[in-house]
């Protein structure tokens, strides 16, 4: 079986060999299509929960009681009941933006290993770059909607988000290059399988550097502290938050839900591709899939706590110092590629 495994890995498509382990009589297997739908549902329904737990723990860390864990759900329900207010100047783009972004965030979980170690039917529809493009499209739609509002702060936020998004792009590309060099593919499943395969894969510098760089990318993209204060109302420091200032009602609900989903998607990529791809379901077994859902949410909360700790221990960088932060992320990703070329990094 060992040879079969390596042969499959060399192909880049790491399919699990012991696909269904018949355990007694009742090994109920879920169809891959259903598992795939469950991936989207996990992200969709779990994202506000993860955000809620992080916000709660953050409050605790700051000596406050913190909001209720389920607060994001209540917020969403409240916002969905309200009406959409649209300024006279804005066109349909203002309302279409949040919907497009939300749709994008629903597509990405199809492409990444959320619950399973094996590729699902639509999982090979796009590689890491494809997922990145869809996330970028979502960001673009939100920025466009923000610009369309005609309000100065929303436009400021949109412009800044696009600027810093463009600056962080080379880092993302180099992380993808490192992944591609290590696995000879650019499929997230392949890297996760490589990381699981042995301890030496975890400590190889190329992987460590890429994982660190991606960690910083997540920090920038989720708008956490060295880059942006995510909770607060000071418009001058806003980047991502600023874009949504003019939206209200269901559109705002979609934006908030979308940003929670984006956060969980990025955490999922960080966890299940780079840092800790354990606890995923190796087969379509009901128990394994349920366990994978719980494991994912648990790991996401742990990662979220790390981010909350960073949030509480550092101060926000001045806007013009953010380029330095991004240069540091690029340094890590660039070194990852270089070390690899220097000899088996």
Residues within the interface to another protein (CB under 8 A): 181, 184, 198-205, 208-209, 323-324, 326-328, 330-332, 334-335, 338-345
Among 103, 102, 97, 104, smallest CA distance to 147 is for 97
C-alpha distances in angstroms, 16 versus 37, 87, 183, 191? 20, 54, 16, 14
Residues contacting 184, CB < 8 A, separation 6+:
12, 190
Using the minimum distance from each CB to another protein, give the nearer residue, 34 or 202: 202
Residue appearing with tokens 């956060």: 263
Using the minimum distance from each CB to another protein, give the nearer residue, 111 or 339: 339
Where are the alpha helices (H) located in the chain, listed in sequence order?
2-11, 32-61, 71-81, 93-111, 128-148, 152-183, 188-197, 199-203, 205-221, 249-269, 286-313, 322-341
CB of residue 300 to another protein, shortest distance in Å: 26
| Residue 310, CA atoms < 13 Å, CB-side half-sphere | 22
CB of residue 140 to another protein, shortest distance in Å: 25
CB of residue 318 to another protein, shortest distance in Å: 12
Among 47, 265, 255, 48, smallest CA distance to 158 is for 255
Using the minimum distance from each CB to another protein, give the nearer residue, 98 or 334: 334
CB of residue 194 to another protein, shortest distance in Å: 9
C-alpha distances in angstroms, 94 versus 183, 219, 235? 41, 27, 20
Using the minimum distance from each CB to another protein, give the nearer residue, 204 or 256: 204
Residues contacting 328, CB < 8 A, separation 6+:
216
Largest CA distance in the chain: 66
CB of residue 204 to another protein, shortest distance in Å: 5
CB of residue 340 to another protein, shortest distance in Å: 8
Structure-token pair, residue 78:
């409240």
CB of residue 258 to another protein, shortest distance in Å: 31
Using the minimum distance from each CB to another protein, give the nearer residue, 151 or 328: 328
Q: How far apart are CA 183 and CA 177, in angstroms?
A: 10
Q: Kindly report the backbone phi and psi dihedral angles of residue 246, in degrees, each rounded to the nearest multiple of 5, phi listed first.
A: -90, -10
Query: Angle at CA 97, nearest 5°, toward 262 and 42?
Result: 30
Using the minimum distance from each CB to another protein, give the nearer residue, 122 or 328: 328
CB of residue 130 to another protein, shortest distance in Å: 24
Using the minimum distance from each CB to another protein, give the nearer residue, 47 or 332: 332
CB 181 within 8 A of CB 269: no
Using the minimum distance from each CB to another protein, give the nearer residue, 169 or 235: 169
């Amino acid at each position: 079986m060992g040879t079969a495994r390596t042969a499959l890995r060399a192909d880049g498509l790491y399919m699990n060999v012991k696909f269904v382990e018949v355990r007694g009589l009742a090994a109920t297997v879920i169809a891959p299509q259903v598992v795939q739908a469950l991936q989207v549902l996990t992200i969709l329904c779990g994202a506000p929960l993860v955000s809620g737990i992080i916000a709660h723990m953050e409050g605790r860390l700051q000596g406050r009681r913190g909001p209720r864990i389920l607060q994001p759900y209540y917020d969403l329900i409240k916002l969905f009941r309200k009406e959409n207010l649209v300024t006279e100047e804005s066109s349909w783009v203002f309302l279409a933006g949040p919907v497009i972004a939300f749709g994008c965030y629903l597509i990405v979980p199809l492409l990444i290993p959320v619950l399973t170690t094996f590729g699902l039917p639509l999982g090979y529809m796009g590689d890491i770059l494809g997922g990145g493009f869809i996330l970028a499209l979502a960001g673009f739609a939100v920025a466009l909607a923000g610009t369309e509002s005609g309000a100065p702060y929303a436009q400021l936020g949109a412009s800044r988000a696009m600027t810093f998004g463009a600056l962080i792009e080379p880092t993302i590309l180099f992380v993808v290059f490192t992944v591609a060099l290590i696995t000879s593919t650019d499929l997230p499943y392949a890297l996760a399988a490589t990381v699981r395969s042995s301890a030496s894969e975890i400590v190889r510098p190329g992987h460590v550097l890429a994982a660190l760089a991606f960690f910083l990318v997540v920090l920038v993209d989720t708008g956490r502290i060295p880059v942006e204060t995510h909770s607060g109302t000071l418009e001058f420091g806003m980047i991502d938050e600023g874009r949504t200032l003019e939206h209200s009602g269901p559109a705002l609900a979609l934006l908030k839900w979308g940003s929670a989903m984006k956060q969980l998607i990025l955490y999922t990529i960080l966890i299940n591709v780079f840092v800790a791809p354990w606890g995923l379901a190796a087969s379509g077994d009901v128990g394994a899939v349920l366990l994978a859902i719980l494991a994912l949410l648990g790991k996401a909360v742990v990662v979220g706590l790390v981010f909350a700790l960073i949030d509480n221990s550092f101060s926000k960088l001045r806007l013009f110092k953010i380029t330095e932060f991004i240069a540091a992320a690029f340094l890590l990703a660039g070194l990852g590629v270089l070390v690899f070329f220097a000899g088996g990094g």
